[in-house]
């Protein structure tokens, strides 16, 4: 889907995603001291807004103007400041490095997927953390939701390998289970979670 398709999707519903932050983002950030954060492919900003509430200085990067407009309203309602940047990550936008970089549920075909991962890795300040979350490839057959195209899905080891080659130290790379609420009751989704750190030189 391109930016126009996502604009239409964001227009169709009050919230495409939950207003609450991703549970794994909460878990992985709790031990970090607030600094500058980059939320790449931020959507409506649920994680960016939560980070701002925790004291982070947040820049949310998103390629859908409609999502950014909604995010600005949600941030204002929450009483927090978030800097919003309209940009397509596949064009490698010029962004300032951060202590925390989030890349949450962005699914791209190759070679864009690896290029965006490498760009995200380069945006992590020394000592900082990159957190990547997405639907695992195994979710397609055994889990719930997510893209139906296996070409845009990865395994934790594949993501970790790209980030390791980019110079980051892998702290965690595994599949995690997430409970999704559906009209038919709770369903389990299989996600990938990779946490990596930029080691000071």
Percentage of the chain beyond pLDDT 70 is 90
Q: Where are the domains of the chain?
A: 3-198
Q: Are 171 and 128 a contacting pair, CB within 8 Å? A: no
Work out the end-to-end distance of the chain between its first and last CA atoms, rounded to an integer number of angstroms. 39
Q: Express each pLDDT in 152-195 by its tens digit.
A: 999 999 999 999 999 999 999 999 999 988 888 899 999 999 99
pLDDT of residue 10: 46
Residue 201, pLDDT above cutoff 80: no
Q: Please indicate, yes or no, whether the overall pTM of this predicted structure exceeds 0.75.
A: yes
Please give the structure tokens belonging to residue 184: 């038919």
Query: What is the dotted CATH code of the domain comprising 3-198?
Result: 3.40.50.150
Beta bridge partners of 39: 60, 102
């Amino acid at each position: 889907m391109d930016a126009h398709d996502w604009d239409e999707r964001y227009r169709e519903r009050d919230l495409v995603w939950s207003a609450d932050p991703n549970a794994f983002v909460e878990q992985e950030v709790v031990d970090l001291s607030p600094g500058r954060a980059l939320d790449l492919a931020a959507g409506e900003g649920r994680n960016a807004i939560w980070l701002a509430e925790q004291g982070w200085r947040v820049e949310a990067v998103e390629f859908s103007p409609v999502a950014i407009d909604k995010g600005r309203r949600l941030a204002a309602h929450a009483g927090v400041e978030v800097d919003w940047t309209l940009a397509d990550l596949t064009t490698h936008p010029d962004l300032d490095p951060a202590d925390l970089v989030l890349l949450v549920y962005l699914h791209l075909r190759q070679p864009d997927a690896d290029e965006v991962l490498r760009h995200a890795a380069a945006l992590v300040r020394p000592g900082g953390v990159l957190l990547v979350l997405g639907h695992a490839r195994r979710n397609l057959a055994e889990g719930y939701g997510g893209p139906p195209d296996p070409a845009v899905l990865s395994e934790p080891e594949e993501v970790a390998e790209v980030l390791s080659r980019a110079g980051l130290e892998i702290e965690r790379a595994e599949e995690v289970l997430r409970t999704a609420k559906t009209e038919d009751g709770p369903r389990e989704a299989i996600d990938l979670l990779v946490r990596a750190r930029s080691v000071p030189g």
